[in-house]
Amino acid sequence: MITIIPAIDLIDAKCVRLSQGDYAQKTVYNENPLEVAKMFEDAGITRLHLVDLDGAKAKHIVNHKVLELVASKTNLVIDFGGGLKSDEDLRIAFECGAKIITGGSIAVKDRETFLHWIETYGPEKIILGADAKDKMIAVSGWQEVSELSILEFIESYTSKGIRQVISTDIARDGMLTGPSIDLYKEIMSQFPDLGLIASGGIASMKDIYELDEMGIPGVITGKAIYEGRISMDEIRRYNLKNS
């Protein structure tokens, strides 16, 4: 059974979504992230992907108070990312209630620090963010495309103990055009035991069922929920059926 992981992206402590990571294409869906998180929990959701978009821009944690609020008022297992660049950022994130953190740009630009985090906290606490454009790793809020292929990038960290990877195909993120099936097939073919979390493009429960049939362990969805393409009732029924 695939784990459905809703995303809450934060700007100014509000629940927003961007299209293809573009801050100019921002939609505010709710000014109360806790309300949204509780709605997810009521539908049987157990995990939440909480992204600090202000932090990603500022290159340090910003919305830790929202993290703390959601963590203290729900039982959701929160994976937190966005702008985590230092040991101090990680300390704050974990102290504020994150169970897991996601590092993407840092894993490309400061490998030594990211490896130190894996060693210090253990690979079960660290998710590798592998965001790609045309199968090449993109960093810095997707403003830069590196010369690293996504498969080489993942291999360089699974060999160091990483077990979970969130992979977003940037071209599909927030576009509701369906997930990057071929990319995920390729990743799972090379890394069959990987805890892969697919992200980007989810438009309906049909997309989630397709990923489930492929054996993908997790899927992140945001805009499809906020735009009403996936209802809380559908998620509730899915979770009840598979509980």
Which of these is catalytic: 79, 131, 207, 212?
A: 131
9: annotated active-site residue: yes
Q: Which two tokens stand for residue 189?
A: 């073919």
State the angle between helix axes of 181-190 and 150-158 in degrees (0 to 180), rounded to the nearest 10: 40
Which of these is catalytic: 9, 89, 207, 212?
A: 9
Burial of 171 (0-12, 13-18, 19+ CB in 10 A): middle
Indicate the Cα dihedral angle 52, 153, 24, 181, nearest 10°: -100
Q: Are 171 and 204 in contact (CB under 8 A)?
A: no
CB atoms within 10 A of CB 42: 12
Catalytic site residues?
Answer: 9, 131
